[in-house]
């Protein structure tokens, strides 16, 4: 395996593959200098995808060697009933809507218990901003999940849900709300709800949703309590490249302050069910998704991990992204609703074997990880028989 010196040499040997307009940036990356927002914009405007992959791969291997991780997890959405109506969201419903759902705690416990028996280490749980569920309901849910097993990590609630709980349900400050949730069993908060930070775009795609300052403040508070979280970006709709860069800048700045983000998970807008201002948007191409991942990897120098969300990309493209800066394929998930209600045609789950097969075929070393991206010992299933065909989107 190449060390940093070897990687640097490898990059130098490939310098002829880097177009002139990216060479200064490449030198900065080699020298571990921080990139400017103008550099990020130059990268976003570059059409030489392979050059971006070469540069991103240097950062990726510097941070994560040849490993590519995945988590064995179970998604569950406790309810899609939401007081907001974000324009891009096909998941949310009002109570009167035919597609509204709300799981009883007993049902959630049963489903997660079944997943635990399959070996999951994490339950990932988000929902809408529910108008009537009580504080006791959330705390009972967390406490009962916690009793399922000492090794089950509960990753739950976006920063938007946390603010909703704090302001409308718990009626407590953000910190106290997070302390209360943590005392009941919350292990980490999710990165959702960030969308695009630009306020003008935000007003067009998710009017009424919490502001960027409020989203950042929840994560800042959680990090100051010793908590860890992921961060996201919803791109490929009406935002400009400069607005994407500004989103990344704000994430990088908060990470400079707190070091609390474990991984970055960008995902492309799923356009199938959209109308209004989003009706004419085309799905982000494979080229664009790989470019976005590579630029994110190169620019976000202070975030260790970059996840390809296969639910959005499809596993085949997620596999390719392992050569464009990505070091994590997310997880088994077992049941995804939010993207699929928006029209995603990818599978709803992956097996551990399928994820490991995809990683190994891409020339990377698979490793199961925990919720904080720490590799679990002896988790790789290398050499196991009956490796399945890649599950295709």
Among 18, 52, 54, 82, binds ligand SF4 (CB under 6 A): 82
Q: Which stretch binds ligand SF4 (CB under 6 A): 11-19, 81-89, 181-189, 254-262?
A: 81-89
Is 278 a binder of ligand SF4 (CB under 6 A)?
A: no
Q: Which of residues 111-130 bind ligand SF4 (CB under 6 A)?
A: 128-129
CB atoms under 10 Å from CB of 182, counted, come to 18
List % helix, strand, coil for the chain (3-state, nearest 5): 45, 15, 40
Is 147 a binder of ligand SF4 (CB under 6 A)?
A: no
CA distance 100 to 82: 9
Our CB check for ligand SF4 shows the closer of 156 and 206 to be 206
Beta strands in 223-375 (DSSP E): 229-235, 261-268, 305-306, 328-331, 365-368
Are the C-beta atoms of 190 and 140 separated by less than 8 Å?
Answer: no
Q: Which stretch binds ligand SF4 (CB under 6 A): 47-55, 77-85, 298-306, 362-370?
A: 77-85
Is 159 a binder of ligand SF4 (CB under 6 A)?
A: no
Are the C-beta atoms of 80 and 326 separated by less than 8 Å?
Answer: no
Our CB check for ligand SF4 shows the closer of 129 and 145 to be 129
Is 143 a binder of ligand SF4 (CB under 6 A)?
A: no
Q: Which stretch binds ligand SF4 (CB under 6 A): 80-88, 219-227, 235-243, 383-391?
A: 80-88
Among 33, 85, 272, 384, binds ligand SF4 (CB under 6 A): 85
Q: How far is the CB of 203 from ligand SF4 (least distance, A)?
A: 13
Q: How far is the CB of 342 from ligand SF4 (least distance, A)?
A: 10
Question: Residue 53: is it exposed, middle or buried by C-beta count within 10 angstroms (0-12/13-18/19+)?
Answer: buried
Q: Which stretch binds ligand SF4 (CB under 6 A): 84-92, 114-122, 253-261, 282-290?
A: 84-92
Structure tokens belonging to residue 149 = 């097993």
Query: Measuring CA to CA, which residue among 34, 29, 32, 27 is closest to residue 255?
Result: 34
Our CB check for ligand SF4 shows the closer of 217 and 365 to be 217
Among 55, 86, 303, 352, binds ligand SF4 (CB under 6 A): 86
Query: Measuring CA to CA, which residue among 61, 72, 52 is closest to residue 3?
Result: 61
Chain Cα centroid distance, residue 24: 30
Is 84 a binder of ligand SF4 (CB under 6 A)?
A: yes
- The 10 Å CB-count burial string (b at 16+, else e) for 228-257 is bbbbbbbbbbbbeeebbbbbbbbbbebbee
Q: Which stretch binds ligand SF4 (CB under 6 A): 60-68, 85-93, 255-263, 291-299?
A: 85-93
Is 339 a binder of ligand SF4 (CB under 6 A)?
A: no
Among 22, 56, 92, 326, binds ligand SF4 (CB under 6 A): 92
Among 206, 294, 303, 311, binds ligand SF4 (CB under 6 A): 206
Q: Kindly state the number of chain residues that form the binding site for ligand SF4, as judged by CB under 6 A.
A: 12
CA distance 91 to 88: 9
Q: What is the DSSP letter of 46?
A: -
Are the C-beta atoms of 266 and 300 separated by less than 8 Å?
Answer: no
Q: How far is the CB of 152 from ligand SF4 (least distance, A)?
A: 24
- The 10 Å CB-count burial string (b at 16+, else e) for 93-105 is beeeeeeeebbeb
Q: Summarize as ranges the residues that interact with ligand SF4 (CB under 6 A).
A: 82, 84-86, 89, 91-92, 128-129, 160, 206, 209
């Amino acid at each position: 395996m190449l060390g940093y010196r070897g990687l640097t040499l490898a990059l130098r040997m490939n310098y002829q593959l880097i177009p002139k307009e990216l060479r200064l940036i490449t030198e900065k990356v080699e020298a571990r200098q921080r990139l400017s927002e103008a550099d990020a914009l130059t990268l976003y405007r570059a059409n030489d995808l392979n050059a971006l992959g070469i540069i991103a791969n240097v950062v990726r291997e510097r941070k994560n060697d040849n490993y590519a991780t995945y988590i064995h997890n179970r998604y569950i959405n406790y309810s899609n009933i939401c007081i907001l109506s974000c324009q891009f969201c096909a998941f949310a419903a009002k109570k009167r809507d035919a597609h509204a759902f709300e799981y009883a705690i007993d049902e959630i416990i049963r489903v997660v218990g079944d997943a635990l028996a399959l070996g999951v280490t994490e339950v990932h749980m988000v929902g809408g901003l529910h108008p009537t569920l009580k504080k006791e309901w959330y705390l009972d849910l967390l406490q009962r999940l916690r009793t399922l097993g000492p090794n089950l990590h509960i990753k739950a609630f976006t920063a938007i849900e946390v603010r909703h709980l704090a302001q409308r349900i718990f009626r407590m400050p953000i910190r106290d709300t997070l302390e209360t949730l943590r005392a009941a069993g919350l292990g980490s908060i999710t990165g959702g709800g960030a969308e695009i930070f630009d306020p003008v775009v935000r007003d067009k795609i998710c009017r009424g949703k919490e502001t960027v300052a409020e989203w950042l403040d929840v994560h800042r508070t959680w990090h100051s309590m010793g908590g860890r979280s992921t961060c996201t970006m919803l791109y490929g709709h009406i935002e400009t490249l400069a607005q994407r860069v500004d989103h990344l800048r704000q994430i990088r700045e908060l990470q400079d302050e707190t070091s609390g983000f474990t991984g970055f998970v960008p995902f492309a807008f799923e356009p199938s069910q959209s109308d209004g201002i989003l009706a004419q948007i085309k799905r982000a191409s494979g080229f664009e998704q790989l470019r976005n991942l590579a630029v994110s990897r190169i620019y976000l120098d202070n975030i260790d991990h970059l996840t390809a969300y296969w639910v959005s990309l499809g596993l085949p493209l997620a596999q390719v992204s392992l050569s464009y800066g990505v070091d994590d394929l997310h997880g088994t998930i077992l049941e995804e609703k939010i993207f699929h209600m928006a029209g995603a045609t990818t599978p709803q789950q992956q097996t551990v074997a399928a994820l490991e097969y995809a990683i190994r075929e891409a020339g990377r070393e698979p490793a199961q990880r925990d919720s904080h991206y720490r590799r679990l010992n002896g988790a790789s299933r290398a050499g196991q028989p009956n490796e399945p065909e890649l599950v295709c989107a």
